[in-house]
Amino acid sequence: MISRYLLISLCLLLYNCKNKDSIPVIELDSTPVTLSYAEGFEITHHENFTTLTINSPWPKAEKTYKYALIDKNMAPKITLNKADFDGIITIPIEKMVVTSTTHIPALELLGVEETLVGFPGTDYISSEKTRVRIDNGTIRELGKNEGINTEVLLEIQPDVVIGFGIDGNNKSFETIKKSGIPVVFNGDWVEHSPLAKAEWIKFFGVLYNKQKEADSVFKSIEKNYLEAKSLASNAKNYPTILSGAMYKDIWYLPNGTSTEAQILKDANVNYLWKETEGSGSLSLNFEVVYDKAKNADIWINPSYYTSYEALEKANEHYTNFDAFQNKTIYNSANTTGATGGVLYYELGIARPDLVLKDIIKICHPELLPGYQPFFFKQLD
């Protein structure tokens, strides 16, 4: 009688003979990619594949997500244990679905926008290039991020869905994963600095085998940002800044450790709440804001209000601020795409250099005499 050990050994021998062309998976020899600012993801190259690890897909996330990326030429020769990964993805990606407008600029900067085949809420997209593909039906409407039309998504069969979530509870994503389509969470918005958010272009670069291109694009953005910051250090005045507006009975504005506040700091201005800390926005009552910011020199991003008339109609007390009376209010909400999507919310994360230069132009116009703000416009 053949022993169990001998039988197992014989089976393994026969299996190896049948798979003599297979390549062993080697994970020991690994080379991590060095990231300059981003902390929410990691890229590690192994002998036969690459791992993409997502550390912070949303605030206070308790789970990390690990994906195996295999080049399509190697995929037939490699077998990975699916239990070790949250998804196994063949690259370069040929068909992708993204779920946040902030993902679209990376595809365009890498020149792979033609791979986008679906999006939930296409009216929010501002990019002229991508809107052409929406209008001709190349990009399918998928409903809403919280309730993606999985029937349409399964029909178009993307290679991967780039997910966006605030807590990981999305039933649509679970349905998509069960169908065999990987969902990879993107946490660019969780990062703590403007350049860290912009560095997530490398997340997309590895999915498309365009790591060199992604690195080149990011280095250019970084260079532009740091040069603008250096220019702002020459400013001779420091205007006081108010931000945000009321929603119902609460005034929401950036806390002092937010990326918005960091950009204001790098623009060398005096943001009146720069000393505050915490996650998320500050939530203050009107009296507290008015007492501190009545005489603020400049007011930026007063919610979605794009005119002085709209501000006054919303709350007549807004008219008592010096910035209202002096007509020094600027908003990014009045730069929109053809269907009303706000360009700042789409492109601002990918291009913090442009955001910073806009603020410098508004607050220190003498430093950028020929520059036209890209996102921000003075209220009508």
Angle at 23 between CA 22 and CA 28, to 5 degrees: 150
Q: How confident is the model at residue 75 (pLDDT cuts 50, 70, 90)?
A: confident
Looking at residue 44, what is its pLDDT? 97
Looking at residue 169, what is its pLDDT? 83
Alpha carbons within 13 angstroms on the beta-carbon side of residue 136 total 7
Looking at residue 76, what is its pLDDT? 85
Whether residue 16 has pLDDT greater than 80: no
Whether residue 205 has pLDDT greater than 50: yes
The C-alpha R_g of the chain, in whole angstroms, comes to 25
Q: How confident is the model at residue 7 (pLDDT cuts 50, 70, 90)?
A: very low
Residue 226 lies in a domain: no
Looking at residue 278, what is its pLDDT? 81
**Same structural domain for residues 164 and 243?**
no
Kindly state the helix (H) or strand (E) to which residue 172 belongs, with its residue range: helix 171-178
Mean pLDDT score, 70-98: 93
The residue length of the chain stands at 380
**Same structural domain for residues 26 and 88?**
yes
Looking at residue 28, what is its pLDDT? 53
Mean pLDDT score, 15-25: 45
- DSSP secondary structure letters along 234-301: T-S---EEEE-EEETTEEEEE-TTSHHHHHHHHTT-EETTTT---SSEEEE-HHHHHHHHTT-SEEE-
**Same structural domain for residues 201 and 320?**
no
Mode of pairing for the β-strands spanning 50-54 and 41-45: antiparallel
Question: Can you read off the two tokens belonging to residue 12?
Answer: 């393994």
Residue 121 lies in a domain: yes
Total Cβ atoms within 10 A of residue 316: 9
Mean pLDDT score, 322-331: 98
Q: What is the pLDDT of residues 115-155, one digit of tens each?
A: 999 999 999 999 999 999 999 999 999 998 778 999 999 99
**Same structural domain for residues 329 and 200?**
no
Looking at residue 208, what is its pLDDT? 98
Whether residue 15 has pLDDT greater than 90: no
Least confident residue range of 20-29, 102-111, 186-195, 200-209: 20-29
**Same structural domain for residues 140 and 204?**
yes
**% of the chain beyond a pLDDT of 70:** 92
CATH of residue 213's domain is 3.40.50.1980
Question: Can you read off the two tokens belonging to residue 302?
Answer: 């007063």
Q: pTM of whole model > 0.85?
A: yes
Q: Rounded to whole angstroms, how far apart are CA atoms 37 and 263?
A: 15
**Same structural domain for residues 303 and 361?**
yes
Residue 157 lies in a domain: yes
Domain's final residue, options 187, 221, 255? 221
Domain's final residue, options 196, 221, 246? 221
Q: What is the pLDDT of residues 296-324, one digit of tens each?
A: 999 999 999 999 999 999 999 999 999 99
Looking at residue 280, what is its pLDDT? 78
Least confident residue range of 25-34, 71-80, 203-212, 346-355: 25-34
The distance from CA 236 to its chain's CA centroid, rounded to whole angstroms, is 34
Residue 180 lies in a domain: yes
Domain total of the chain: 2
**Same structural domain for residues 84 and 50?**
yes
Mean pLDDT score, 61-87: 91
Mean pLDDT score, 234-249: 95
Whether residue 24 has pLDDT greater than 80: no
As a whole number, the mean pLDDT across the chain is 91
Domain that holds residue 121: 14-221
Mean pLDDT score, 170-175: 90
Is the N-terminal amide bond of 92 cis, ω within 30° of 0?
yes
Looking at residue 74, what is its pLDDT? 87
